[in-house]
Amino acid sequence: MIGTTELVLWWRKRMSDYSNLIQAIVEGNYVKCVELTNEALDEGASPQDIVRSGLQAGMLIVGDKFSAGDFFIPDMLMAARAVTRAMEAIRPRLSDSEMPTLGRVVIGTVSGDIHDIGKNLVAMFLRGAGFEVFDLGANVPDDKFVTAVKEHAPDIVGMSALLTTTMPNMKYIIAALDSAALLSQVKVIVGGAPVTQRFANQIGADGYAPDGGAAIRLCQKLLEE
d(CA 18, CA 98): 21
Q: Return the percent helix, strand and coil in the chain, to nearest 5.
A: 60, 10, 30
d(CA 136, CA 164): 21
The answer to whether 131 and 83 are in contact (CB under 8 A) is no
d(CA 45, CA 37): 9
Nearest distance from C-beta of residue 56 to ligand B1M, angstroms: 18
Nearest distance from C-beta of residue 82 to ligand B1M, angstroms: 19
Compare residues 168 and 194 and give the one whose CB is closer to ligand B1M. Answer: 194
Compare residues 35 and 103 and give the one whose CB is closer to ligand B1M. Answer: 103
Nearest distance from C-beta of residue 115 to ligand B1M, angstroms: 4
Nearest distance from C-beta of residue 192 to ligand B1M, angstroms: 4
Kindly give, in sequence order, each residue whose CB lies less than 8 Å from that of residue 60, ignoring residues fewer than 6 positions away: 129, 216, 217, 220
* Residues found near ligand B1M in the complex (CB under 6 A): 107, 112-119, 121-122, 158-160, 162-165, 189-194, 209, 211-212, 215
Nearest distance from C-beta of residue 63 to ligand B1M, angstroms: 10
d(CA 42, CA 208): 40
Compare residues 36 and 121 and give the one whose CB is closer to ligand B1M. Answer: 121
Q: Hey, what long-range contacts does 192-197 have (CB within 8 A, 24 or more apart)?
A: 192/109, 192/115, 192/118, 192/119, 192/160, 192/161, 192/162, 192/167, 193/118, 193/162, 194/161, 194/162, 194/163, 194/164, 194/167, 195/161, 195/167, 195/170
Nearest distance from C-beta of residue 114 to ligand B1M, angstroms: 4
Compare residues 46 and 202 and give the one whose CB is closer to ligand B1M. Answer: 202
Q: Which of 113, 139, 110, 136 is nearest to 123 (CA)?
A: 136
Compare residues 55 and 159 and give the one whose CB is closer to ligand B1M. Answer: 159
Compare residues 51 and 200 and give the one whose CB is closer to ligand B1M. Answer: 200
Closest chain position to ligand B1M (CB): 118
Compare residues 59 and 159 and give the one whose CB is closer to ligand B1M. Answer: 159
Nearest distance from C-beta of residue 217 to ligand B1M, angstroms: 11
